[in-house]
Amino acid sequence: MKIVLLGAPGAGKGTQADLIVKEYGIPHISTGEAFRSNITKGTEIGLFVKSYMEKGLLVPDEVTIEIVSMRLKEDDCKNGFMLDGFPRSIPQAQALDKATSLDAVINIDVSYDVIYKRLTGRRNCSCGAIYHVSTYTSNNCAKCGKELFIRDDDKEEPIKKRLEVYEKITQPLISYYEKKGLLKTIVSSDAISDTFLKVKSILDTLI
Ligand code: AMP
């Protein structure tokens, strides 16, 4: 299956993506993760994208499209993939249409209040694990023991900017995919497992 996860920052795309990978075994392509890994490794791309990300701005389309296009050409994507955080603009969606055809776009809908609380309380581990201070109080990762950190863009100013950017540049994708008959919107619940049941009921129809 070839799917896209759409939703505002903090809607829970990454969390649902992990569950989808476990259940369906498709490759998870996260542009945010790809950029963060480039920053950690100190690559040329990492140096370029850092300032955009820190400010909560989108990385320019050309760079983002190039990274995703290359990844989609890899062998493991032949039978399916899940894009998380891409596309985030109409030009990115158009580039994706040229590269492949999708089976569904899952739009995770969450209120702004909830998103704000989620992002300000989010704690990350370099192994990819994500926690929230309301349910996890340790400073170390339960999976690998490393110290947790707060993403630079999970601070107040970048969060505001990211939500603004989402409304202006990413939200138009909802009607873009609606018109194509691909959009499946689910209202996210507080319980991760309840949201996943909704996601699963859509994905099971695609198998
Ligand atoms: P995420 O981990 O998906 O929240 O992405 C973190 C940051 O990476 C975003 O705030 C953007 O700066 C950048 N980013 C991720 N995906 C994209 C994309 N598709 N287009 C442009 N910038 C992106």
CATH of the domain at 43: 3.40.50.300
Query: Over the stretch 95-111, which tens digit does the pLDDT of each residue have?
Result: 999 999 999 999 999 99
For strand 130-132 and strand 81-84, is the pairing parallel, antiparallel, or unpaired?
Answer: unpaired
Atom of ligand 1 nearest to the CA of 162: 10
30 inside domain: yes
Whether the per-residue pLDDT at 205 is higher than 90: the answer is yes
Residues with CB under 6 A from ligand 1: 9, 31-32, 35, 52-53, 56-59, 64, 85-88, 92, 153, 162
Alpha-carbon span 191 to 207, nearest angstrom: 25
At 7, is the pLDDT very low, low, confident or very high (cuts 50, 70, 90)?
very high
146 inside domain: no
132 inside domain: no
Say how many domains are in the chain.
1
Give the global pTM: 0.92
125 inside domain: no
Mean pLDDT (the chain) is 95
40 inside domain: yes
Alpha-carbon span 46 to 204, nearest angstrom: 37
Task: Using the mean position of ligand 1's atoms as its centre, give its distance from the Cα of residue 197 in Å.
Answer: 26
Which residues are part of the catalytic machinery? 13, 88, 122, 151, 162
Task: Using the mean position of ligand 1's atoms as its centre, give its distance from the Cα of residue 178 in Å.
Answer: 22
Q: Residue 22's closest CA among 203, 184, 206, 205? A: 203
Whether the per-residue pLDDT at 128 is higher than 90: the answer is no
Give the mutation target among 15, 39, 53 for probing the ligand 1 site: most ligand atoms within 8 A of CB. 53
Query: Over the stretch 65-93, which tens digit does the pLDDT of each residue have?
Result: 999 999 999 999 998 999 999 999 999 99
199 inside domain: yes
187 inside domain: yes
What values do phi and psi take at 106, rounded to 5?
A: -95, 120
25 inside domain: yes
State the pLDDT at residue 91.
98
Return the structure tokens found at 176.
Answer: 């873009």
Beta bridge pairs of residue 7: 108
Structural domain range at position 14: 2-110+170-206
